[in-house]
């Protein structure tokens, strides 16, 4: 019965995410909701943004359905947890939608994000009497606001946000299955399928962007799900590993800019994934690099959580190596592509050297 319930949640998220843009895209085009290229952009032409509103609707509908489906364990607590996550999804999407349409100052935006995170943490603490500790509220507020901004910063090339939602949602669903939390399986599947449904629209010839509504949705849904999972005792390796690459890319870029005396909040193209496109990779290729690193560290996280002491040490060390290699990928690919170009030039020169111009 629970398997069919999980399939239902995934189907609702996927079908709505695929179909809703058919009606919303023309409305956004007529309203002139466009993403105009700036110093941070990896695209060159104005493109329709705000399509994340359809992803938000799909994800919200799937979670709402999950509230009324069979729950394993403490059914009441699971349903209330889903309600909290649904509320955060709606609130974060609304903030992002306002940002897309009208714009918000940095202070107002940060204040709203922190408020959403703080209220969500307080609600979870009320649901679980064992978690009623005051320090959790500011910690949860910062965690949600921080990851919302991480996903916003990382949403710069085609495919990257959709695949991030797919991968993190999938790994969180697996974590819920292993840990015995049905609500986490539902939410993981819903996130994965909602963002999977967005990918064809983002990667098609007449592409569209998530916009802030979509990137805020992605960050908030992952952050609040991770927070709820952590508070019910899901191993931190399951929670942290799938988001490690995004966190590392953002933190290292922020630190590099800070040390260079640059304005950290100014538009730029210094993230690892952006530098990959600068050295010559396509959007899809750069996204594939991010995905491969995410999958590797996530699998290593699972190995660390499920293995013994030796396995934990080996998996953690291997994960550290993967992260370091990811940070070096722009340099590695630049050398690789330059080497290929050099060999191609030498081959062309060699083939042309033996040709008689008078032949």
Q: What is the pLDDT along the chain (359 residues), one digit of tens a residue?
A: 588 999 999 999 999 999 999 999 999 988 888 777 665 656 667 788 889 999 999 999 999 999 999 887 778 889 999 999 999 999 999 999 999 998 898 899 999 999 999 999 999 888 876 666 778 889 999 999 999 999 999 998 999 999 999 999 999 999 999 999 999 999 999 999 999 999 999 998 888 999 999 999 999 999 999 999 998 889 999 999 999 999 999 999 999 988 888 876 677 788 999 999 999 999 999 999 999 999 999 999 999 999 888 999 999 999 999 999 999 999 999 998 888 777 777 777 766 655 444 43
- What are the CA-CA distances from residue 128 to residues 43, 121, 141, 188, 202 (Å)? 46, 11, 17, 21, 39
Q: What pLDDT score does 44 carry?
A: 61
User: Can you list the positions of beta strands (E) in 44-131?
Assistant: 47-48
SS3 category, 229: helix
Q: What pLDDT score does 326 carry?
A: 97
Bridge partners of 35?
A: 47
Q: What pLDDT score does 134 carry?
A: 72
Q: What pLDDT score does 359 carry?
A: 38
Q: What pLDDT score does 355 carry?
A: 47
Helices (H) and strands (E) in the chain, counts: 13, 2
Give dist(CA 135, CA 228) in Å, integer.
15
Give dist(CA 278, CA 296) in Å, integer.
24
Residue pair 158/203 in contact by the 8 Å Cβ criterion: yes
Q: Which of 330, 320, 186, 180 is nearest to 253 (CA)?
A: 330
Give dist(CA 208, CA 226) in Å, integer.
28
Give dist(CA 276, CA 283) in Å, integer.
9
Q: Which of 92, 98, 71, 271 is nearest to 184 (CA)?
A: 71
DSSP state of 269: -
Dihedral in degrees, nearest 10, Cα atoms 269, 272, 277, 282 = -140
Phi and psi angles of residue 35, each rounded to the nearest 5 degrees, phi first:
-100, 110
Radius of gyration of the chain (CA): 22
User: How many other CB atoms are found less than 10 A from the CB of residue 252?
Assistant: 16
Q: Which of 318, 153, 325, 173 is nearest to 246 (CA)?
A: 153
Sign of the alpha-carbon torsion through 290, 293, 296, 299: negative
Element (H, E) at 34: strand 34-35
Q: Which of 21, 77, 83 is nearest to 52 (CA)?
A: 21
């Amino acid at each position: 019965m629970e398997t069919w319930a999980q399939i239902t949640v995934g189907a609702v998220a996927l079908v709505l995410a695929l179909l809703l843009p058919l009606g919303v895209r023309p409305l956004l085009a007529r309203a002139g909701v466009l993403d105009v290229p700036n110093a941070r952009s990896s695209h060159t032409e104005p493109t329709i943004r705000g399509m994340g509103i359809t992803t938000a609707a799909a994800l919200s509908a799937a979670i709402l359905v999950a509230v009324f489906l069979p729950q394993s364990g403490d059914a009441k607590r699971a349903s209330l947890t889903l309600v909290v996550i649904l509320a955060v999804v709606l609130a974060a999407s609304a903030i992002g939608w306002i940002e897309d349409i009208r714009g918000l100052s940095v202070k107002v935006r940060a204040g709203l994000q922190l408020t959403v995170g703080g209220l969500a943490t307080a609600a979870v603490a009320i649901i679980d009497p064992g978690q009623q500790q005051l320090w959790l509220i500011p910690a949860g507020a910062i965690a949600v606001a921080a990851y919302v901004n991480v996903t916003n910063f990382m949403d710069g090339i085609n495919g990257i946000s959709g695949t991030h939602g797919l991968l993190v949602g999938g790994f969180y669903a697996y974590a819920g299955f292993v840990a015995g939390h049905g609500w986490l399986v539902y939410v993981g599947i819903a996130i994965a399928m909602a963002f999977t449904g967005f990918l064809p629209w983002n990667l098609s010839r007449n592409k569209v962007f998530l916009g802030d509504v979509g990137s805020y949705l992605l960050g908030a849904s992952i952050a609040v799900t991770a927070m709820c999972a952590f508070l019910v005792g899901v191993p931190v390796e399951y929670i942290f590993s799938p988001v490690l690459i995004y966190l590392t890319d953002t933190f290292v870029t922020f630190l590099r800019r800070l040390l260079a005396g640059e304005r950290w909040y100014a538009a730029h193209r210094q993230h690892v994934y952006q530098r990959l496109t600068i050295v010559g990779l396509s959007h899809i290729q750069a996204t594939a690099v991010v995905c491969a690193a995410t999958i590797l560290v996530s699998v290593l996280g699972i190995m660390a959580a499920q293995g013994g002491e030796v396995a934990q040490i080996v998996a953690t060390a291997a994960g550290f190596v993967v992260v370091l290699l990811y940070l070096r990928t722009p340099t590695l690919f630049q050398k690789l592509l330059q080497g290929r170009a050099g060999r191609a030039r030498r081959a062309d020169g060699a083939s042309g050297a033996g040709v008689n111009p008078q032949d």
